[in-house]
Amino acid sequence: MDFLDTNIFLRYLTKDDPVKAQKCYELFQRIKRKEVRAVTSESVLAEVVYVLSSRAVYNQPRENVRALLLPIVSLPGLRVPHRRVFLRALDLYAGTSFDFEDALSVAHMERLKLTTILSYDADFDRIKTIQRREP
């Protein structure tokens, strides 16, 4: 099993280097067919979201970021810890103005059935199922 870093996702999704993009495409096809098993982390995927949506680099709208990542994160041969949580966070991110990391926190809270967050970030006040408290 191999660990996939951020740049593997970015080369494939952005095609900014055609040779590397093709190699990454072939890799993801092998992962899709389960010929290759791979794993990545939430932090890698969060960085992919950040870079794709960055105004300074690719400036992709939130819904495009979701649409680009959804099929990759769902590949049968790719292990993503808390895959459902990540997918829920993508939905929240695409449908709100939350930073992706905040959306990921909300998705984890939902998974754990938590309703209170300790935070100074008033953005959490917009989620009706969460009560924000300051320490």
**Sheet arrangement for strand 38-39:** 2-3, 38-39, 78-79
116 domain-assigned: no
Residue 37 placed within a domain: yes
Q: Is residue 36 part of a domain?
A: yes
- Structure confidence at residue 55 (pLDDT): 84
Assign 57 a pLDDT band (cuts: 50, 70, 90): confident
**Residue 22 resides in a domain:** yes
Q: Give the pLDDT of residue 98.
A: 87
Q: How confident is the model at residue 56 (pLDDT cuts 50, 70, 90)?
A: confident
Alpha-carbon torsion angle 105, 108, 110, 113, nearest 10: -120
> Is residue 128 domain-resident?
no
Would residue 130 count as lying in a domain? no
Report pLDDT for 97.
85
Q: How far apart, in Å, are the Cα atoms of 23 and each of 12, 30, 42, 74?
A: 8, 11, 23, 19
The CA-atom distances, in angstroms, between 102 and each of 1, 78, 98 are 30, 24, 6
Question: Looking at the domain assignment, is residue 118 inside a domain?
Answer: no
Question: Does 26 reside within a domain?
Answer: yes
Determine the structural domain holding residue 24 and report its residue range: 2-81
pLDDT tens per residue, range 75-126: 999 999 999 999 999 999 998 888 999 999 999 999 999 999 999 999 999 8
Q: How many other C-beta atoms are found inside a 10 Å radius of the C-beta of residue 26?
A: 12
Residue 85: HSE in the Cβ half-sphere, 13 Å Cα cutoff: 20
Q: How many domains would you assign to the chain? A: 1
